[in-house]
Structure 1
Amino acid sequence: MKKYCLAVDLVNDPVMIAEYEAFHQKIRPEIEKSIRDAGITNMEIFRLDNRLFMIMETEDDFDFEVKARMDAENPKVQEWEQLMWKYQEALPSAKKGEKWVLMKQIFGMNGY
């Protein structure tokens, strides 16, 4: 198992943040399937103000590039991503067009 942590911001608007959270109370089945099919075994998203933090646990052979290709070929995922981008805002350090940014681990009680 591998673990990845990513971050993105939300548009800083309480109504939009509430809408975003409502979409995530029960995600669409085809979106969950695409996540699992890519080798992600667990995913959690946390929020502080308008900052989101995602923890992904994956199979050992998980590959972000493979996941990106799978997503690009899936119209339902593209529809979902376009909808979510309405609520999301790139981090100041994000590259052009980048949403979720991979975070660097700096501490682990059991090493890293």
Structure 2
Amino acid sequence: MKKTSKNNDFLNDVRSDLSPKVYEVVLNLVNEDREDLAKDVIKIDYLLDYTSRCLKAKDKREARESIERAKIRIDNILKEGFSIDYIVYLYEGIRKKVK
């Protein structure tokens, strides 16, 4: 049976906090029985959001550190063979702003 926010507590808890595209990535990972990687996607989403806030606050050092932590998590998911194109797209867009 396919897992959704209606029959899975984890998905129900995170659905309101994520954009629809990020939620779709999380949903796909949960349905592949990789809730551990889904949790990493949520952490990546937070790190990317945090990096953006650091850039707006002109805190370049903190932005660099958080984007590096996001990259490590992205690489771990890609190493497992899962497609997270949208997350990589978000990462690349924010990384270009970090100098």
TM-score (norm 2): 0.31
Higher RCO (C-alpha 8 Å, min separation 6)? 1
Give the structure-1-normalised TM-score.
0.28
